[in-house]
Each structure stands twice: as C-alpha cells, then as structure tokens.
Amino acid sequence: MFDVVVVGAGVIGLTCAVRLQEGGARVAVVTADEPAQTVSQVAAAVWYPTRTEGNPRVLDWARRTFDELADQAVRGVPGVVMRPTRMLLRAPAIQAPWWAEAVRDFRSAHPADVPAAFAGEWRFTVPTVEMGPYLHWLLQRVTSAGGVLLRRRLHRLADVADVAPVVVNATGLAAGTLADDADVYPVRGQIVLVSNPGLFTSVRDEENPAGRTYVHPRSRDVVLGGTFEPLESDTTPSAATGRAIIERCTELVPELAGAQVLTQLVGLRPARHGGARVEVDQAGLPGGGSLIHNYGHGGAGITLGWGCADEVASLFSSRSNSTHARESQ
C-alpha cells in the first residue's frame, strides 16, 4: 500500500514526508506522539545553524532550506515570516561565518552603528517559523496528498517493516536507541515566552558571558532565550534560569521591560557527535527492508530540514531506480 514509511512526525519527519510525496511516493508517517507534542513544537524555530559545524554538504542543506522557507514566506505559508536580525559580536570578526553564503543580505554594520559595549554587528534577514501553525500545515500537506499518520511507539525500527519496503528514520533523540547510535545525546534548552510590546527585529548576543541571549519576536509573543546544556535531560523549567533569561534579554532589548510572562518551556535538542546523519544504512532491516537515516540535527532542525529532506528524497529515488533496474533484468 505504501512505498515508504517515515518514523517521526517532528519538522524533520514531516518535511521528509512532503518531499517524498512530491516525488510520487506513497507515504505513511509513524509517530509515538502527535506533531504538536514533539520537541519541534517547543523550538524557537529561527533559521540559524546553532552549534553546527559547516562543510559544503551542510551549507547546501542550509541554503536549500533557506530558499524553501523564504519562498514559503512569500506564499503566505502559516507561521513563516522573514525577519531582520542583529547579531551583536563580543570580539572582532575576522571573516564572515560559513553560513553567510546562504543568506541573501548578510552584511556587517558600520562601526558607528554598533552599540558601545560590542566589537561588531552582523545584520541579515532570515526565515522564522511559528511551529504550531507550521506543523499543522505540514501535516495537512501530507494527509491531503494521501498520506496517513499512524500512532505507534516503537521498540525497534524493524517494527514498521510491514508498512513499507523503505523506512526513513527521523526519530530525533530516540534514534540513540532505535538506531543504536551512541553519538546521539540531548541538549537541554529553556526559553521564556513574553507578550510582544511591538518588536519585529530579532537580536542575538550569543557570546554573552552570563549565557546565550536571543530575542525573537513572533506575531503574538516574543521568544526569549536561552540555554544550551549538553547531556541535561530534565524538562522541568527552572524559575531561576527563567529570571536570568529575562534579565539578560531585557538588558539587550530594553523595550521588553515589563512585558508579561506567558510561559516557560524546555525542550531537548536531538544532537549528535559528528553532526546530522543523513544516509542509507547499508545493513538495512531484518527481512530485507531498506533504511534511510535523517536525525541528529541538534538545534538546527528548522535550518537544515528541507535540505536534508531533499537528500532523503534523492536517496529514496536512487534506491527505487536500482530496484526497478534489477527487476527488469
């Protein structure tokens, strides 16, 4: 009935499902949780390769994703907006970051325009995504194209080998167990959501000695962050951490003073030593099923997701063409 089953219904899994369907595949998505209950829902979801090492392959993923999201913003896809960003630098930048090639308007601010406490400033416009409406839109795209969402909690990837001959593993943090990958680990992130006093521009101070600091406005609120805590897995928000985040962000953007605190959230970024794993598993699955991995994006899922989905679709197409060629011989 299905050509491929995608395991995982976060932003990585759903973008894979969409791309596979666009290539003509019949797709099922298997998930333990509804998309709104995945870690993707908690993400600040701003295009920015947080703690991601650059290389030509990763740059290609980032560029493809940027272009796709920028196009979606023009088309009015729910939750997707292009927002200007100010990146404040604590030390002089010798060169532009590796990801600047993917951004259409990256530039350095004139020294006279840089706040006195900082050594420099980068300015650029990038896609931002409100994950609630966006995940809903992705799921609607999958189901309207004939895909189905199956609720199952798996103990091994082979448990879905009966659904389709090809399995795409987009299970994020669970891939540590399901793919037996010791390189997968959690990175705890806490954010605070406050009412929006009229902000539109994102502001970052990544090297703040008191902790990572970013202010990301959205349509009805502002995401204040944040933390990056490797190997921490407690998802209970810390009141003290929340107060520190608000203090740092208000110092950076004084307009936030007095903004109403709406909620505090914690998510576990699905990181992996060595970066995202996007490849065909040569061992396959018991019984002969094919397996394609797509996990380990850490805090850069919204930054790399569509580019990785393109690669998964290409790997699936190559596998299908090889199978058809063997069958015709």
Tens-place pLDDT, residues 55-88: 999 999 999 999 999 999 999 999 999 999 999 9
Crossing angle between the packed helical segments 11-22 and 301-328, to the nearest 10 degrees: 40
Instruction: Give pLDDT, residue 81.
Output: 96
Confidence label for 325 from pLDDT (cuts 50, 70 and 90): very low
Confidence label for 320 from pLDDT (cuts 50, 70 and 90): low
How confident is the prediction for the chain on average, in pLDDT? Answer: 93
Tens-place pLDDT, residues 104-155: 999 999 999 999 999 999 999 999 999 999 999 999 999 999 999 999 999 9
Q: Is the Cβ–Cβ distance between 261 and 194 less than 8 Å? A: yes
Range(s) of the domain holding residue 39: 4-325
- How many domains, the chain? 1
Cis peptide upstream of residue 226 (ω within 30 degrees of 0): yes
Tens-place pLDDT, residues 140-197: 999 999 999 999 999 999 999 999 999 999 999 999 999 999 999 999 999 999 999 9
Instruction: Give pLDDT, residue 323.
Output: 55
Instruction: Give pLDDT, residue 119.
Output: 96
In the predicted structure, residue 211 carries a pLDDT above the cut 80:
yes
Confidence label for 42 from pLDDT (cuts 50, 70 and 90): confident
Q: Which residue has the tokens 């699905």?
A: 270
Tens-place pLDDT, residues 215-268: 999 999 999 998 999 999 999 999 999 999 999 999 999 999 999 999 999 999
Instruction: Give pLDDT, residue 96.
Output: 95
Stated pTM of the model: 0.94
Indicate which CATH number applies to the domain containing 231. 3.40.50.720
Instruction: Tell me the DSSP string of 115-181.
Output: -TT-SEEEEEEEEEE-HHHHHHHHHHHHHHTT-EEEE---SSGGGGTTT-SEEEE--GGGHHHHTT-
Mean pLDDT across the stretch 305-324? 86
